[in-house]
Structure formats: C-alpha cells, structure tokens
Amino acid sequence: MKLAIKDLKGNPAGELDVTFEVIETGRGTQAVHDTVVAFMAGRRSGTASAKTMGEVNGSGKKPWRQKGTGRARAGSFASPLWRGGGVVHGPKPRDFSKKVNKKVAKLSLRKAMSERLKAGDILIVDDFKLATPKTKEFVGVLRTLGVDGNTTLVVIGSSDAGVERASRNVLGVGLATATSVNTYELLRYDKLVFTKEAFAQVEARLAD
C-alpha cells in the first residue's frame, strides 16, 4: 500500500510505502476492545469513598432508651437507616487499572492502524514545522490539508513546544508523539495526520 505525502501547503511531496502488515480480516478486534477498556479504566481516579457506620462522625450515645417510648428501637445515630448515617457496601478508593500484555497491545495498535488506513483517514505530511507557534497558523495548516471541521489527531515524531502551544486551544484537535500514541487515540478522532517521521516510528513499533 502506498500513501501520498503532502507538504504543509497541500502540495504533493512524494509517496510512502506502508511496510507493516495491514490486517484485512477480523483478527485483532478483541485485542482493540481489551486495550481500549484497559485504557479507559486506567483513567479512572478511583477516589470515590463513602463512610461506613463506624466512620461516621458523631456520638456513640443511644438515641433513646430501648423500651417505653413507643418508637422503634435505635442503637446509633450512625445507622444506615438514618439520614447522615453510614452507607452499606458503599464505594471505597480502589485501583481500576487492567493489565494488557505487550502482544495484545501491539496487535490492537496494528488493527487500529489497519482500519484507519483502509478507511482513508490517515494523511501523511513531510513535516509539521510552523513558522510561528500561533493557533491561527496551525488552524490554517489543517484547513489547507482539508481536515478542518473534523476531529483531528496530529502525530509528530518528537515533542515540539511550538506545535504544542499552537494546538492546545483548538477544539477537537489532539497532539501526540509517535512513541506515545495509543489505540484509543487512533480510534477517537475522525482524521489522523502523521508526519513522515512519526509514521516510520509507529511502523517500527509494529515490527515483529
């Protein structure tokens, strides 16, 4: 498979050969599911917490005597039956993270890349160097490339403070490096813009 390369002005700048094996079958679907579920679970803070009856602050005094009042017997102000009392089986801080082994993670990344390639959602640019780190220039590049109006992920070879500054306030646009981009990000956005260097680095990650 060959992909056309463009410069930041939208002009043709050559072609790129896809060297990794593009998955044509349904193989890898479960790996994608497992990886995305693990990614989303890992983003959960897990800080939800409710007090048990023993943790509720207050007196341990019995609300009223056991007999003779005509009311139901009560032993504690912290009873789960009472407003402000403890919570039965309530949430406690926990770790929601899930483990995904390396082979499954690599397969899911390959599957996601394959599907986006087949759908024609990947665009290659020779480089993504901005003359000035301005949001206006960044948006103009996206418009020139024909991806404005879509949610877009820009994948660059290495961190670039100028591109990061220019893109951080653009709604619906994400920025990632070739070493950090993951399956979730590849599937989340409508269009993917890779620099030639970044695409080569992702292919290296997919190498057997």
Measured distance CA(130)–CA(59) in Å, rounded: 65
Q: Residues 194, 151: one domain?
A: yes
pLDDT exceeds 90 at position 57: yes
The DSSP H or E segment spanning 194 is strand 191-195
DSSP H helices in 86-131: 102-118
22 within domain boundaries: yes
Domain termination site, one of 90, 114, 148: 90
pLDDT band per the 50, 70, 90 thresholds, residue 32: very high
* Percent of the chain residues topping a pLDDT of 70: 100
The DSSP H or E segment spanning 187 is helix 183-188
Task: Give pLDDT, residue 114.
Answer: 95
Q: What is the pTM of this model?
A: 0.84
Contacts of 203 (CB under 8 A, 6+ apart): 18, 19, 20
32 within domain boundaries: yes
* Average pLDDT of the chain to the nearest whole number: 94
Mean pLDDT for 178-196 is 96
96 within domain boundaries: no
pLDDT band per the 50, 70, 90 thresholds, residue 1: confident
Q: Residues 192, 140: one domain?
A: yes
Angle at 183 between CA 42 and CA 135, to 5 degrees: 95
Number of domains in the chain: 2
97 within domain boundaries: no
DSSP code string of 54-74: TTS-S--S-SS-SSSSSSPP-
- Domain of residue 12, CATH code: 3.40.1370.10
Domain range spanning residue 175? 2-44+102-206
- Asked whether the beta carbons of 109 and 182 are under 8 A apart, the reply is yes
Task: Give pLDDT, residue 208.
Answer: 65
- Residue 1's nearest CA partner among 23, 22, 26 is 22
Taking only the tens place, the pLDDT of each residue in 111-140 is 999 999 999 999 999 999 999 999 999 999
pLDDT band per the 50, 70, 90 thresholds, residue 66: very high
* Percent of the chain residues topping a pLDDT of 90: 88
Q: Residues 81, 173: one domain?
A: no
pLDDT band per the 50, 70, 90 thresholds, residue 59: confident
